[in-house]
Chain A
Amino acid sequence: MMLRLFLSLILAVSFFGSFSAKAETELWGDFSGVTLRVKLIGGGQYEGLYNEVIPWWEENTGGKIEIVTQKNHFELDKEIKKDIASGNLDFCVASNHTSFASQYGNIYTDLNSIMPASVLADYTPLILEHSTVDGRLVQMPRHSDVSNLYYQKSLYEDADNKANFKAKYGYDLTPPETWDQVKDQAIFFSNPPDFYGTQYVGKEEAIAGRFYELVIANGGALFDEDYRPIFNSPAGVEALQWFIDLYNAKAVPDGVLNYLWDDTGLGFASGTIAMNLDWAGWAGFFNDPENSKVAGDIGLVRAPMGSGGLRTGWSGSHSFSMTESCPDKEAAASFLWALTSNKAQMIEARGGLSPTRPAIWDAIIAEKKAEGDDFMLMVFETFKMSLAEDAFTPPLIPEWIEFTNVLYPELQAAILGDKSPEDALATASKKATEIMEDAGYF
Chain B
Amino acid sequence: MRKFLNGPWVLLMPTLIILTCVVLLPLLLSLWTSFTPFKLTKPDTLYRFVGFRNYERLIGDIDFWIAFGRTVLFLAIALNLELVFGLGIALLINKITYGQRTLRTLMMFPMMFSPILVGFQWKYIFNDNIGLMNNFLREFGVIQPIPWLVDGILANVSIMAAEIWSSTSVFAILLLAGLLGIPKDPIEAAKVDGCNSWQVFKNITLPFLMPFVFIAMTIRSLDVARAYDIVQMMTGGGPAKRTELLWTLISRTGYVDAKMGMANAMSYISIFLSIAFTFFFFYKLVEARQRLSYE
Instruction: Tell me whether B240 and A412 are in contact (CB under 8 A).
Output: yes
Q: Does B100 contact A (CB under 8 A)?
A: no
Pick from B145, B148, B238 the residue with the most CB of A within 10 Å. Answer: B238
8 contacts between A and B (CB under 8 A): A78-B256, A104-B41, A253-B128, A255-B127, A258-B150, A412-B240, A416-B240, A438-B37
Residue interface bits B238-250, CB-to-A below 8 A is 1, else 0: 1111000000000
In the assembled complex, A308 has its CB within 8 A of some CB on chain B: no
Give A contacts to B, CB under 8 Å. 74, 77-78, 81-82, 84-85, 87, 103-105, 192-193, 202-204, 253-255, 257-258, 267, 270, 272, 398, 401-402, 405, 408-410, 412-413, 415-416, 418, 438
Q: How far is the CB of B248 from chain A (nearest CB, A)?
A: 11
- B255/A258 in contact, CB under 8 A: no
Bound-state CA distance A415–B147 (Å) is: 14
Q: Please tell me if the beta carbons of B238 and A85 are within 8 angstroms of each other in the complex.
A: no
A127 CB, min distance to chain B CBs, angstroms: 24
Known contacts being A84-B41, A85-B260, is A254 close to B255, with CB within 8 Å?
no
Whether the pair B238, A257 counts as a contact (CB closer than 8 A) is: yes
Q: Which A residue sits closest to B259, measured CB to CB?
A: A402
**Given the complex, which residues of B lie within 8 Å of A202, measured CB to CB?**
239
Q: For B240, what are the chain A residues with a Cβ–Cβ distance below 8 Å?
A: 257, 409-410, 412-413, 415-416, 418
Contact status A254-B145, CB under 8 Å? yes
Find chain A residues with CB under 8 A from B2 CB: none
Do A257 and B41 form a contact, CB below 8 Å, given A267-B129, A401-B256?
no
Are B129 and A193 interface neighbours, CB within 8 A? Answer: yes
- Distance of A258 Cα from B129 Cα, bound (Å): 12
Q: Which residues of B contact A409 (CB under 8 A)?
A: 238-241
* Selected contact of A84 from candidates B37, B40, B150, CB within 8 Å: B40
Measured CB to CB, the closest approach of chain B to A425, in angstroms, equals 14
Tell me the minimal C-beta distance from A116 to chain B in angstroms: 30
A402 adjacent to B40 (CB under 8 Å): no
Contact B147 A254 (CB under 8 A): yes
- CA A408 to CA B235, docked complex, whole Å: 14
Q: Residues 258-294 of chain B: 1 if any A CB is under 8 Å from the residue's CB, otherwise 0?
A: 1110000000000000000000000000000000000
Per-position binary interface string of chain B over residues 34-60, scored 1 when its CB falls under 8 Å from any chain A CB and 0 otherwise? 000100111100000000000000000
Judged by DSSP, the binding face of B is: loop
Most-contacted residue by chain A among B41, B240, B255 (CB, 10 A): B240
The distance from the CB of A81 to the nearest CB of chain B, in whole angstroms, is: 4
Flag if B238 contacts A254 (CB, 8 Å): no
A362 → chain B closest CB, angstroms: 39
Given contacts A78-B256, A416-B240, contact A255 B147 (CB under 8 A): yes
Residue from the list B41, B147, B256 in contact with A405, Cβ < 8 A: B256
Taken together as a complex, chains A and B put the C-alpha atoms of A416 and B145 apart, in Å, by: 16
Other than the given A193-B145, A255-B127, A255-B150, 5 more pairs (CB < 8 A) read: A85-B43, A103-B258, A192-B145, A253-B129, A255-B147
Residue B102 lies at the interface, judged by CB distance under 8 Å to chain A: no
Q: For residue A82, which residues in chain B have a CB less than 8 angstroms away from its CB?
A: 40, 255
Residues of A within 8 A of B235 (CB): 258
Could you tell me the distance between the alpha carbons of A401 and B129 in the complex, rounded to whole angstroms?
Answer: 29
Chain A CB within 10 Å, residue with most, of B241, B252, B257: B257
B144 within 8 A of A: yes
Cβ contact within 8 Å between B238 and A78: no
For the complex, is B207 an interface residue (Cβ under 8 Å from A)?
no
A401-B40 Cα distance, complex, nearest whole Å: 14
Question: What is the CA–CA distance of A392 and B42 in the complex, to the nearest angstrom?
Answer: 28
Q: How far is the CA of A270 from the CA of B37 in the complex (A)?
A: 47
B149 CB–A CB distance under 8 Å: yes
Within B75-133, the residues touching A (CB, 8 Å) are: 127-130
Known: A84-B40, A193-B145. Is A254-B239 also a contact (CB below 8 A)?
A: no
Interface pair B43/A84, CB less than 8 Å apart: yes
Q: Smallest distance from the beta carbon of B33 to chain A beta carbons, Å?
A: 10
With both chains docked as a complex, state the minimum distance between the C-beta of B61 and any C-beta of chain A, in angstroms. 10
Point out the residues of chain B lying under 8 angstroms from A78, CB to CB: 255-256
> Separation in Å of the B9 CB from the closest CB of chain A?
33
CB of A254 within 8 A of CB of B41, answer no
Given the complex of chains A and B, what is the CA–CA distance between A401 and B259 in angstroms?
12
| Cβ–Cβ < 8 Å partners of B23 in chain A | none
7 interchain residue pairs of minimum CB distance: A255-B128, A257-B239, A254-B147, A412-B240, A413-B240, A81-B40, A85-B40
* CB-CB nearest in chain B for A403: B257
B238 contacts A258, C-beta separation under 8 Å:
yes
A438 CB contacts on chain B under 8 angstroms: 37
On chain B, the residues within 8 Å of A103 by CB distance are 41, 258
Q: Is B143 an interface residue (CB 8 A)?
A: yes
Separation of A203 and B238 alpha carbons in the complex (Å): 8
State whether A193 and B257 are in contact (beta carbons under 8 Å apart), knowing that A255-B149, A258-B238, A409-B240 are contacts in the complex.
no
CB distance from B54 to the nearest CB of A (A): 12
Distance in Å: Cβ of A268 to nearest Cβ of chain B: 12
Q: Is the CB of A398 within 8 A of B41?
A: yes
Q: Does B178 contact A (CB under 8 A)?
A: no
With beta carbons under 8 angstroms apart, the residue of A81, A204, A398 that contacts B255 is A81
Which A residue sits closest to B38, measured CB to CB? Answer: A85
The answer to whether B150 touches A416 (Cβ under 8 A) is yes
Is B238 a contact of A405 with CB atoms below 8 Å? no
Q: A416–B257 contact, CB under 8 A?
A: no
- Measured CB to CB, the closest approach of chain A to B190, in angstroms, equals 53
Bound together, the chains give a CA A322 to CA B221 distance in angstroms of 44
User: Residue on A with the closest CB to B143?
Assistant: A193
Chain B, residue nearest A408 (CB)? B238
Give the CA-CA distance A401 to B39 in the complex, in Å: 14
B258 contact set on A, CB distance < 8 A: 81, 103, 402
A204–B256 Cα distance when bound, in Å, is 11
Residue picked from A74, A87, A258, most chain B C-beta under 10 Å:
A258
Q: Cα distance A204–B235 when bound, in Å?
A: 11
Q: Which residue of B lies closest to A105 (CB)?
A: B41
A196 and chain B: residue at smallest CB distance = B129
CB-defined contacts of B130 to chain A, threshold 8 Å: 270
* Bound complex: CA A26 to CA B256 (Å): 37
Q: How far is the CA of A156 from the CA of B145 in the complex (A)?
A: 27
Alpha-carbon distance between A412 and B149 when the two chains are bound, in angstroms: 13
Residues of A within 8 A of B37 (CB): 438
Docked CA distance A418–B152 (Å): 10
A residues near B147, Cβ cutoff 8 Å: 254-255
Distance in angstroms from B151 CB to nearest chain A CB is: 9
**CB <8 Å contact, A412 and B42:** no
Complex-state Cα separation, A257 to B127, whole angstroms: 12
A413 cross-chain contacts in B, Cβ below 8 A = 240-241
